[in-house]
Structure 1
Amino acid sequence: MNKSDDLSNRTLTLKRTFKAPLKLVWEAWTQAEHIASWWGPKGMKTRVIEHDFRAGGQWKYAMTMPNGDEFISEGQYLEIVEMEKIVTTADFKPMTEGVELHIQFEAAGDNTLFTFDCVHETEAYCKQQEQMGFYNGWASVFDNLSEFVENRAN
């Protein structure tokens, strides 16, 4: 394996601590009615088209931009460890395709430690996605999630 094949060179990571219990954060990620409330960057509305939350199950969400244009995010769940981890393929057409999301949850008292890894096929593609605004885009999504779970925790 050469250095460019190293997983760490193909992965972008975000970490957060949500001020909400693990069960609530897990439910926000795994229940369609909750996903529609927070998924997507600020200013976008999300419609859940398909959500089969099981290993091998498909998910598909339509996000509507403020100008009315819609784009699709979709994937297949590869691994689910209850209250700990979700691994899924993901395509965010037309911007990002062929990535894997590794989402980890850990209880920390009344808070939840959250790690989000986005694994790309190549190091070059990973760098391109970072330059396209990966961190700002996903930070906005996780701001929505934070607001969603923290409002329900209080």
Structure 2
Amino acid sequence: METKNQSTATTESNKQKLVIVREFDASRELVWTAWTDPESCKKWWGPKNFTCPVCEIDFKVGGKYLNCMRSSEGKEFWSTGTYVEIVPMERIVCTDSFADEKGNVVSATHYGMEGFPLELFVTVSFEEHDNKTRMTLTHQGIPSRKMTDLTSASWNESFDKLAESIK
């Protein structure tokens, strides 16, 4: 599946805002489902060489998600968040935090990382464009340019997997 990739980062009061725009050769419904259906999400969540053995989604405003990314060495990284806004087929806004396997928010130091706030924000929008879907992800609150670059690489590897999963 062909996708176009564009990433930018800006600084806002010592926190980075990452914006990634991807175009998928798939319907908006398929791309939306990849974000909202746990079994679909398991197919692409996490960068290359990672799997997603656990994906729980309570997809409603105020509902929570809990995801596990497992490295090829077996190290697990858990994340959780709360859905803040849902506009069907158009936009998802949620918090994003490191977590333990029970969904409790933990500091980034739990995973050997420094400087992350306990809560970040993710906005994903979906637009039909030339019989394709343009998806824009905005990840706000990343602590440094270095971490923004690493986060961008991870998201883009995940989105490469997403493209493959919706062929």
2:128 aligns to what? Answer: 107
Bigger share in helix = 1
1:63 aligns to what? Answer: 69
1:116 aligns to what? Answer: 137
| Cα-Cα RMSD | 2.0
Q: State the TM-score, normalizing by the size of structure 1.
A: 0.83
Number of matched residues?
Answer: 142
Q: Distance in 2 between matches of 1:98 and 1:88?
A: 10
Letter in 2 for 1:110: N
Structure 2's unaligned 5+ residue stretches are 1-10, 99-107
TM-fit CA distance, 1:4: 4.4
2:28 aligns to what? Answer: 22
Deviates further, 91-100 or 17-26: 91-100
Alpha-carbon spacing, 1:4–1:103, altered in 2? closer, same or farther (3 Å): closer
Give every structure 1 segment of 4 or more consecutive aligned residues whose post-TM-superposition deviation is greater than 6 Å.
none
* Equivalent residue in structure 2 for 1:47, among 53, 61, 70: 53
1:141 aligns to what? Answer: 158
* Equivalent residue in structure 1 for 2:145, among 115, 127, 130: 127
Q: State the TM-score, normalizing by the size of structure 2.
A: 0.77
1:72 aligns to what? Answer: 78
Alpha-carbon spacing, 1:141–1:49, altered in 2? closer, same or farther (3 Å): closer
Bigger share in strand = 2
TM-fit CA distance, 1:47: 2.3
1:80-103 CA distances to partner (integer Å, 9 max, x unpaired)?
A: 000000000012453454210010
1:65-123 CA distances to partner (integer Å, 9 max, x unpaired)?
A: 111111101111111000000000012453454210010000124210010000117xx
Q: Distance in 1 between matches of 2:144 and 2:128?
A: 29
